[in-house]
Chain A
Amino acid sequence: MTLTRSIQHRNPKPEVQSRKPSGATAMRLIVPLQGVVQGRGGLIFGSLIPCALFYFLQLYLKRHRSPNSQSSPSSPSTSSSNLAEMTRTSSRSNLLSRGSIGPVRISSRASSIAKPNDSPYYVGLDKASEDPYDRIGNPDGVIQLGLSENRLCFDLIEKWMLENLRDSIMGREGGDLSISGIATYQPFDGTMELKLAMAGFMSRVMGGAVSFEPLQMVLTAGATPAIETLCFCLADHGNAFLVPTPYYPGFDRDVKWRTGVELIPVHCRSTDNFMLTISALDQAFNQTRKRGTKIRGILLSNPANPVGNLLSREMLYDLLDFAREKNIHIISDEIFAGSMYGKEEFVSMAEVLDSEDSDKSRVHIVYGLSKDLSLPGFRVGMIYSFNENVLAAARKLTRFSSISAPTQRLLVSMLSDTRFIEEYIETNKKRIQNMHDLFVAGLQELGINCADSSAGLYCWADMSKLTPTYSEKGELELWDMLLNVAKINVTPGSACHCIEPGWFRCCFTALAPEDIPVVMGRIREVAEICTQSS
C-alpha cells in the first residue's frame, strides 16, 4: 500500500554513504504514520514531533562524532606507502601561532582538498619530482613515466624561440605593437589573432579535414579550466557525466572538485581493446537514472587517454544518436589530436558534425597546446562549442582563467609561421612513432603486451602477469615495487578507474631513446623478483 521511492539519492558509492551513518535508514522507519496525517492538526504536530526527535538524534550524532570525521568524505585511498607523507606535510606547518579560540573553519569543499594527495597518481609524481633521473647527473633517480610530457621536439621550438622571441613579444621595431598592446585589459576569452592562429593550427593538425570557426572558440589558461568551465556550464551540483574507463586521472579533480558534478564510469574491457560500446553507455545511463541522478552528458577523450585508441567515424555517429536520444551533451577532449603515430586516421567530432546537419548544440570540443605543441607551461586551452548559450556563459567565465597577453602574442607569431609548424608536426609524429615502437618492442621482450594504440604520449601496458595477485591490491603492490625498487613512476590502471587490474600507463615521450634500455632493465629486475616469488 505504501510506496517507497527515494529520489535524487546522491552518491551511492560506499565511501560516501558511510559518511551519513544512521540518517537515511532511521528516516525510513517512521514512514507509516498515517493517522497523524489524516488529522487536521497533522501538519503542525506531525512536523514538530518527529522533527524534535530527529534533532535529538542529530545532537547525539554530533556529540559522539570522532573529531576527525568532521572534515568530509575520505577519498578512495588504497596506497599505504604514503602514510609517512601525510605526517610529514602536516608537521611542516607549525609556522603560526594559534588563536585562543579553536582554529577558524574552512569550507567543506576545501577541506577535502586540503588533505594530502594520496592517490598513487599524485604520490608517484611527487616522488619522481623529488629525485628525478638524469642520465649523467643522477642515474639512480626515479624515471618519470607518469607525467604526460612530450620532450621529443624541444630542439625545434627552442630554435624558433631563439630566432623570433624578442620580436614577437614586443612587436617588430617597436611599431604599433608596443607594451600598451599587451599590458592593458584584453578580451578574457583570448584575442582574435590567437583564435585565428589556433583555428589554422587545429585544422592543420587534424589533417585539413575540418575547418574551425574562431567565433566558436573560447580560450582558457589550459585544458584543465576548459573542462571545468564546460562542466560549470552544463551541469548542476549533483548531476553526472558518463565517462568511459580507463580515463585520465585528472578528470576526478577537474570535473568533480568545485562543480560538485559526479562522474559515472562506463567500463570498457581489454577484450574489446578498451573500445567504448553503446550498450555499455546505455547500461550505465539507465543504472544512474534509476538512482535518481540526472545525467547531463558524456565526457570522452579522443584519442583516448590513457589507452591511445581512436573512436571510429561510425562510433561517433552512434554517440551523437545516443546523445540525441537521451538529450544530453557530449564533451570531446581532443587534446591529443596532433600526437598521432599509427596508420589509423583520426576523426574529430567537428568533422562528423560538418557532414551532418543535425543538432550541433550539444557538442563541445576541448583542445589545447600542452600536448601537441608540447608547451604545457604556456597554459593554452580551448573550448570549441556549437552552442551559443554555452559560448556566452563560458566567455564570461574565462575571466577566472585567462591567458596572459604576452604569451598570446608569442603564440600568434609561432603558430602563424607555417613553415615551422609544418616541420614541427611532421617531425613530432615521426619521433613519437619511433619512441612508441622502441618502447613497445622493449616491453614485448619482457613478455609485456600493450593495448593497440595509434595516438598519444603513452602506452597502456598489461602487466597482470607480474602482479602478485590478480586484484587492485596486487596491482598497487606492483606499482609500489616499480616506484620504490625499480624507481620508475608509472600510473596504475586503478588510478584511471580501469576495471581490470594489472594495467599501467607509461608515458614514453619524456624519455630519450637512450633511456629505453635503462627503463627495460629496471622493469626486468622487478619482473624477475615477481616471477621468483610466485
Chain B
Amino acid sequence: MFSLLCTGVCNLLIANLLLVEFLHMGTHDLHPHVVDHRQELKHILLFGFCYEDVVYSLPLFSHSSILYPVLVHTQQLPYRKGLTNSARKIDMAIENEQPAVGLSKVAVSETHGEDSPYFAGWKAYDENPYDESSNQSGVIQMGLAENQVSFDLLEKYLEEHSEASSWGIGAPGFRENALFQDYHGLKSFRQAMANFMEQIRGGRAKFDPDRIVLTAGATAANELLTFILADPGDALLVPTPYYPGLDRDLRWRTGVKIVPIHCDSSNNFQVTPEALEAAYECAESMNLKVRGVLITNPSNPLGATIQRSVLEEILDFVTRKNIHLVSDEIYSGSTFSSSEFISIAEILEAHDYKNSERVHIVYSLSKDLGLPGFRVGTIYSYNDKVVTTARRMSSFTLISSQTQHLLACMLSNKEFTENYIKTNRESLRKRYEMIIKGLKNAGIECLKGNAGLFCWMNLSPLLEESTREGELALWKVILNEVRLNISPGSSCHCSEPGWFRVCFANMSEQTLEVALERIHKLMEQRKSKET
C-alpha cells in the first residue's frame, strides 16, 4: 500500500510538471478563457489518480477567483512518447502552421536513429564505394553484418533443384501458394525451420513447429515481441554493447524504453548478476516498469557466445523478478564451432521447461543462411498467449508464400543443410582467423570471439582522449582517411571508449586484405608520429 501511495505521489508530481508544459504548448483544446489568461494563471491545484496505467489528473486553474477545472488525460501528453525537446518543437511547428497538415509523433521522432555514426558511415560508403577494379580508393564497407562467404553453396543448390524456385511439375501447388495468406505460415516451412534450428544446436534442443511465428525479418520479430511484452513507457533491459538497431526496433513505434545493463572489458563484457540488479534498480528509480531482458546470443557486436553459467544467472534473475527474457539468436549458426554455442532452449530443456513461459527466442535466416533479402524472421515462444498474439500481429509482417515455398524446399533437404552449416562455420572461422591475425600484425588486439560476422576491435590505445568524442574523432579519421566504414562502440552504447565493430564476411578475401593493409598503414603512421 505504501508503494502505491508513493507511486501516486510521483505520478502527481509528473502530472504537475506536465501541466506547466501543457500550458506552454498552446493547446487549442483548453477552455478559451484559460487560454486567454494563460500567463496570469497563478494557482494550480491538481487532483490526480491513476487507474489502469493511466494518470488522470484534474487541475484547477484559478484566475480572478474563478476556477477552471480541466480533465487532462495524461496519456496524450508528450511524456508518454518520450519526446525530445527538438521533436516537440517540430510537432508544435506543425500544429501552428495552418496549411501544412500535421503528422504523428512517430513520423517526426528521431528514434529511427539514422543520424547516428553507425548509419552515417553507411552514407559515406554509399557515396564512394570501394571496388576491386574500378574504385580502388573507395570506402570499404565493414559496418554491414552480411554473410557472403557461402553464396556458392546456395547458388549450387538452386541450380540443381529447380523444384524449389518453380512450383514443381504439377500446377495445383501454385494455386494454393498464390492464395496462401494464412498468418500461420506454410506448415512445411515451419517444420523445416524447426528442424534447421535444431540442427544448428546440434540436436540438443527440440523445437515445435506450432510455436514458430513467422515475420518478415528479425527486425520485425523483435518489434513484435516488444509490442506484446511491454506497454508504452515500460522498459526492457539490454546488456551493452548492443546492436544499434535495437534503439529503433524496440522503441520507435512501441514507445518502450531501453535501460542498459552495463558490461565492461574486465570480464570480457559478460553479464553479471550485479549488473542486472543495478540496471533493474536504475529503471525503478526512473519509475519505469521493467518488463523483460533482451540478450543477443551470440552477441552482436561482440561476436562471442554467452556462457552457460551466465545464461543460468540471467534466467534466474528474470524468474525472480517475474519478467520476460528475449534471446535473440540470429547468429547461432554462425558460431565457428557447434559445441561453443549454448541456446537458452538447451537451458530450458535441462530444467524440464520450468519457467519457460517467460522465454522467447528470435531467429532469422538473414545471417546464418546469408539471405537478408528474403526477409525471413521468426519468433519461437514457450508462452501460448504470446504465440497466439504474435501470430495475429504477424499480419503486418508476413512472408511471401513464394519465398516460404522456396525455403521450405531448401531447408528440408538434409544433405544440403548439413553440408551448408558445416562449410559455413569453417569459412567464417577462416575469415575470422585471417582478420585477427592481420590486426595482430598491425598491433591491434580484439576481444576473443567465437561467432558472428564481425570482431570487436580495441583501438583504445590510439585515442587521444579516452572519451566518446575521442572515439568519434578516431572513427572519422578511419572513415575519411583510411576509408574503412567500421562501427564505433559508442553507437552500440559501449561504456568504454575505443572499441569498434569490424565486419568481415560481406566482402571477398582480396578486399579484406586491402582493408587490413590500410589499417596496417595507419598503425605505422601513428607509430612513426610517436617516435
Chain A residues at the B interface, C-beta cutoff of 8 Å: 1-10, 19-20, 23-24, 27, 30-34, 36-38, 42-43, 46-48, 50-52, 54-55, 57-59, 61, 72, 89, 93, 95-99, 101-111, 113-114, 117, 129, 149, 151, 154, 157-158, 161-162, 165-166, 169-170, 174, 178-180, 182-186, 221-222, 224-225, 228, 232-239, 253-254, 257-258, 292, 294, 296, 327-329, 359, 361-362, 370, 374-380, 387, 389-390, 393, 396-397, 399-407, 410
B402 touches A407 (CB 8 A): yes
B140 CB to closest chain A CB (Å) equals 16
Separation of A279 and B190 alpha carbons in the complex (Å): 51
Q: Using Cβ atoms and an 8 Å threshold, which residues of chain A touch B430?
A: none
CB neighbors of A among B225-239 (8 A) = 227-232, 234
B33 CB to closest chain A CB (Å) equals 8
Q: Can you sample 6 A-B contacts with CB below 8 Å?
A: A7-B70, A8-B71, A89-B388, A113-B393, A165-B165, A232-B107
The stretch of B5-13, B268-276, B306-314, B480-488 in contact with A is: B5-13
Separation of A359 and B393 alpha carbons in the complex (Å): 35
Q: Is B531 an interface residue (CB 8 A)?
A: no
A327 touches B98 (CB 8 A): yes
CB neighbors of A among B312-364 (8 A) = 319, 322-324, 352-358
The stretch of B257-265, B295-303, B368-376, B449-457 in contact with A is: B368-376
B12 touches A158 (CB 8 A): no
A308 CB to closest chain B CB (Å) equals 21
Q: Is B459 an interface residue (CB 8 A)?
A: no
Q: Give 4 nearest A-B pairs by CB, closest first.
A: A377-B401, A405-B373, A54-B49, A93-B384
B310 CB to closest chain A CB (Å) equals 21
B520 CB to closest chain A CB (Å) equals 28
A184 touches B384 (CB 8 A): no
Provide the main secondary structure of the chain B interface.
mixed
Separation of A7 and B72 alpha carbons in the complex (Å): 6
Q: Is B148 an interface residue (CB 8 A)?
A: yes
Total contacting residues, chain B, CB less than 8 A: 127
Q: Is B73 an interface residue (CB 8 A)?
A: yes
Separation of A492 and B166 alpha carbons in the complex (Å): 39
The residue of chain A having its C-beta at the shortest distance from the C-beta of B400 within the complex is: A407
Known: A102-B322, A390-B107. Is A110-B65 also a contact (CB below 8 A)?
no
Known: A104-B358, A184-B146, A406-B403. Is A233-B216 also a contact (CB below 8 A)?
no
B179 touches A107 (CB 8 A): no
Additional A-B contact list (17), CB under 8 Å, known A149-B179, A183-B372, A327-B99? A7-B30, A23-B56, A27-B71, A106-B229, A107-B228, A109-B231, A151-B175, A161-B174, A169-B165, A184-B146, A184-B148, A221-B396, A224-B396, A232-B253, A327-B102, A377-B180, A379-B399
Q: Using Cβ atoms and an 8 Å threshold, which residues of chain A touch B227?
A: 107, 109-110, 258
Query: Of residues A23, A51, A99, A361, which shows the largest number of chain B Cβ atoms within 10 Å of its Cβ?
Result: A51
Q: Using Cβ atoms and an 8 Å threshold, which residues of chain B touch A182?
A: 373-374
Q: Using Cβ atoms and an 8 Å threshold, which residues of chain B touch A3?
A: 31, 33, 66, 68-69
The residue of chain B having its C-beta at the shortest distance from the C-beta of A296 within the complex is: B102
Known: A31-B67, A232-B104. Is A410-B148 also a contact (CB below 8 A)?
no
B29 touches A8 (CB 8 A): yes
The residue of chain B having its C-beta at the shortest distance from the C-beta of A229 within the complex is: B396
Q: Of the candidates B50, B103, B401, which one forms a contact with A393 in the assembled complex, judged by CB atoms under 8 Å apart?
A: B103
A393 touches B107 (CB 8 A): yes
Q: Of the candidates A27, A378, A405, which one forms a contact with B374 in the assembled complex, judged by CB atoms under 8 Å apart?
A: A405
A222 CB to closest chain B CB (Å) equals 6
Q: Is B60 an interface residue (CB 8 A)?
A: yes
Q: Using Cβ atoms and an 8 Å threshold, which residues of chain B touch A37?
A: 43, 45, 60, 62, 67
Separation of A425 and B181 alpha carbons in the complex (Å): 22
Separation of A106 and B383 alpha carbons in the complex (Å): 10
Separation of A55 and B4 alpha carbons in the complex (Å): 7
Q: Is B246 an interface residue (CB 8 A)?
A: no
